[in-house]
Every structure is written in structure tokens, then in C-alpha cells.
Chain A
Amino acid sequence: MVPDSAMIYLDNAATTFPKPPQVLREMFETYARLGVSPGRGSYDLAAQCDHYVHEVRCRISDFFGGDGPDRVIFANNSTDALNTILLGLVEPGCHVVSSRLEHNSVLRPLYHLRDEGVITFDLVPFDARGFIDPQDVARLIKPSTKFVILTHTSNVVGTVQPVGDVGLVCAEREVPLILDVSQGAGVVPIDMRAMHAAAVAFTGHKALQGPTGIGGLVLREGLDVRATRFGGTGFESWSSTHPEDYPYRLEAGTLNVLGIMGLNAGLTYLADRGIPHIHEEEMALARVLRDGLSSIKGVKLYCASSLDNHVALMMCNIDDLDPEDFSAILDGDFNIATRSGLHCAPLVHEDLGTSPRGAVRFSLGPSTSRDDIAAALSAVDAIAGG
């Protein structure tokens, strides 16, 4: 199926689309040359593929301010990475601090571990603008707190959290801070050292411009995570136990080499265009969208009165129109793709009063144009009865 070139795609917070052509081209060309099992076997191509993967680990470590390639663990996506670290860190009776801004990729593992009797946890609230208060985190940390796990950027309201201040709070108490950077990576600079973060979980298919199916963890030295999955690694096959060395400790089975190549191509694209430049362009359009939406009678915006410390996404509703119908009309009548519902972050909607039906999220990407925003505003105006 040929992509609909007339479609206005405003669901970039879920998956950026379309991917830059150079990313797709580089991904496929590299895979055509090197797409074998990395490090498995004694032929040159396997060694070359292994070296390529190592180079990408180096690049990702540098990108996030990590401690080197061995501490970069590939996973399928953020959810997979977060499960790996959550299940590998918890101990019976431990306590965890998180927030009400979290995606289900954090909440559901926490609920599961609590229901299994393994952990207890507390969630910090967010204010009317969509930000948590680092002092709330400080208040909830107790002697049994094993780690703090927070979203770096809300996927629902787009607020970039004060994670540097939270990092200081955690560092002072010697509690590791784990960040879910799914929404912020590729949009704003993320420096684990500056943020005092012990780990970040990322996905490739959002602003990092890679394909779906690739993500990972970056762990700082000193944070040890137990393996919770076991299997083939391509070496020490004689051993009945899974290797203890990173990154293999947390990687079982053949890696998604095509995804790693796409992620690498995405990083090249971001380096060429410049993350600050992309972000500035997106935020300029986000302000136009916010100002336009807020001037339409019947439209209610959430946590968008200020777009400082924000990424280019926002959420709104129209009077009593069901968000799913709102989004369907945008698609069917105006060829505009948006995301309705709870955005896999039900507590945010609960606290904003938009539960259970949610709201419609507009999320911009590098290919969003001024004309796209004008068309979206015109469509919302028509739907709202203007």
C-alpha cells in the first residue's frame, strides 16, 4: 500500500511517520550488506556485523551520556526495556517511587509486582500545569526505597519533567533514578550524568526516527540488574548459565539487527538536522496550534497554558463530543491522523477529569508543516461548529 501523501499525520508521539527517506534507505542498504547474526560464527561478515552493533552501542552511550558501549542493552522498545530493569532490580519487600504521569509501561509492571506481593510503591502527583514536584519525590523516599522510576516527558500532556532536580534528590539519598525517556529522546538533550540518572529506557520508533521494534536501556556503572531472561548469546555456549557480563547479561537471543541499523540511521538524521533546530521548529508550530485551539469556542486544552519545558504535543476535547468520534471525524472528513483515548496513561486522565473516554492528542514531528497546522485548526473549528 502506498502511503497517503495527502494525509496530515499528527500522531508522532506514538510513532514518528513518515520516516525520513534517508533513514529508510540507510537502514535497508546496511541490512543488505551486513544483516547476519552479530558475533555468531567465525566468518568475517558476522564479525563485521558485531562490530557495527558495537559502534551503535558506543553512539547511543554518547547520545545519553552513558558509561560506554557495554552498558547499552538493546530491547524491543521502552516497555520491554522497562520490564527488564524493573524485574531485574526489585527485591521482596522493597519500595518504589514513581508518578501519576506514568505510561502503563511503568504502571502495569508496578501493579503486577505489588499484586504478587513483591513490592509496595507510591506515586507522586502532578500539578495543574502537568509537572511533578521534586520535593514530593523526596518526601516519599524511605529506607526501603530501592529506586525511583519516572517519565522524563509526559506522553499525554507533553511536559518535560524537572528530572535534574529529582536526580539531585535521589543522589543525595543514594537511591537510583531510572528515567523513561520514550517521549523526550530525540526531542530534547538527555544527559544521564547531568541528570544524575542511573538508567534510561528508550525506544527507537518515536523521535529517534528509527523503526518499531527497537529500543533499549542505558545503565550507569554501579547499577546492577539481574537477568530475568536467559538463552543464546553467541558465545560461552558450553556454559549452562547465562553470561554475567554486560550487555549480554540482559540480552537473550539474536538482536534486532535491522532495527539497530534503523536506529543508527535515525541518530545520523538527528545529528545532521540538529535536535535543538528540530525542537525549535516543532515548538513554533505547537504555539500556533495551541493559540488556534484555545481560540475555538468549545475546545478545552489541557496543561498547555504555557509551552515552556514542553514538547510539541497537546491534548484537547470539544464540549461533550466523544474523543474517539472527534478523532474519527478528523480522519474520515479531513484526513488528519490524531490519537484519541487514554494514551496508555490512565492516571493522567483520571486526574485531569478526562477519564474514562480520554481526549484527542495532536503530536507534531519533523515533517509537520505550517499548512498542516492551519488545516488542523480549520478542521477543529468546523467540528466544533464554527
Chain B
Amino acid sequence: MGSDRSTQAHGHTTRVIDGREILFDEEGFLLDPETWSETLAETLAAEVGLGRLTERHWALIRFLRIFYLANGRAPLNRDIRKETGLNLLDLERLFPGGIRNGARRLAGLPNPRSC
């Protein structure tokens, strides 16, 4: 786990995780998905009470990232079910914070910002 210090400006927070400055939005989502790292996911997971990310967590995180980087958008709800074999209710329970604030945030995907 990397060291972490943070500063805030304009609702955004800059944190130093594992020696790198990472910018988060006001809800704790990465502003730039490219700044994601496994260490960052582990750091965020620890903060929401996940002592250790299991292979099930990693499989989901990797799917979300690969899909996002290939398609430029988050997977549809149906894509998640089809490609991971998980239903969304199970996914909700797998991550503290659920789908949006858990899985999606730990995978470094942008804030969906629905209204």
C-alpha cells in the first residue's frame, strides 16, 4: 500500500498514492482513468473496509477497465451480466459502496454524473 497525503481545490482532491499525484473529483472518482493502478485500487478498497481484494473483485475490476479502455465508455448493465456472469445484485453486495461507489470507483472509471 502506498503512502497518501491529500490537498483540496475546487472540490477536487489531489492525493499522493504510491509516490504519484492522483486527482479525484468531489465524489472520490478519478478525474483521469489513466492514472489508475492496482495499488490505487487496493488503497481505495482498504478505505471502504475491504481488507483485501479477492480474485472475484479483481476479475470485475479488470473487466470494467478493459471494457472502458476498449470502448471509451462504461459497460451497459447487460454487458456486465453477460461478460462476468455476475448479476448486478451480487455485484452490489460484493463491493462496499455497491456498483457505482464501489466497483466503478475502485476500477478508476469516471464519475457517471447522472442527474
Task: Give the interface of A toward B (CB within 8 A).
Answer: 321-322, 324-325, 328-329, 331-333, 340-344, 382-383
In the complex, A332 Cα to B89 Cα: how many Å?
A: 9
Q: Are A332 and B115 in contact (CB under 8 A)?
A: no
> Across the interface, which residues of A come within 8 angstroms of B92, CB to CB?
321, 325, 329
DSSP majority for the B interface? helix
Nearest CB of chain A from residue B114's CB, rounded to whole Å: 5
Nearest CB of chain B from residue A109's CB, rounded to whole Å: 17
Q: 5 A–B contact pairs at CB < 8 A?
A: A324-B112, A325-B99, A325-B100, A329-B88, A333-B81
> Across the interface, which residues of B come within 8 angstroms of A383, CB to CB?
89
Residue of A nearest to B112 (CB): A324
DSSP majority for the A interface? helix
Q: A341-B114, A344-B115 given as contacts; is B87 within 8 A of A332 (CB)? A: yes
Interface residue from A332, A333, A340, A382 paired with B114 (Cβ < 8 Å): A340
> Across the interface, which residues of B come within 8 angstroms of A324, CB to CB?
99-100, 112, 114
> Across the interface, which residues of B come within 8 angstroms of A333, CB to CB?
81, 87-89
Q: Are A382 and B101 in contact (CB under 8 A)?
A: no
Residue of B nearest to A340 (CB): B114
Q: Are A325 and B98 in contact (CB under 8 A)?
A: yes
Residue of B nearest to A4 (CB): B78
Q: Are A322 and B100 in contact (CB under 8 A)?
A: yes
Residue B3, interface by CB 8 Å: no
Residue of A nearest to B95 (CB): A325
Q: Are B115 and A328 in contact (CB under 8 A)?
A: no
Interface residue from A332, A342, A343 paired with B77 (Cβ < 8 Å): A332
Nearest CB of chain A from residue B84's CB, rounded to whole Å: 11
Nearest CB of chain A from residue B87's CB, rounded to whole Å: 5
In the complex, A344 Cα to B114 Cα: how many Å?
A: 10
Q: A341-B114, A344-B115 given as contacts; is B88 within 8 A of A332 (CB)? A: yes
Residue B22, interface by CB 8 Å: no
In the complex, A355 Cα to B64 Cα: how many Å?
A: 28
In the complex, A341 Cα to B115 Cα: how many Å?
A: 5
Q: A321, A329, A331, A343 — which one has the most chain B CB atoms within 10 A of its CB?
A: A329
Residue B80, interface by CB 8 Å: yes
Q: Are A322 and B89 in contact (CB under 8 A)?
A: no
In the complex, A316 Cα to B18 Cα: how many Å?
A: 41
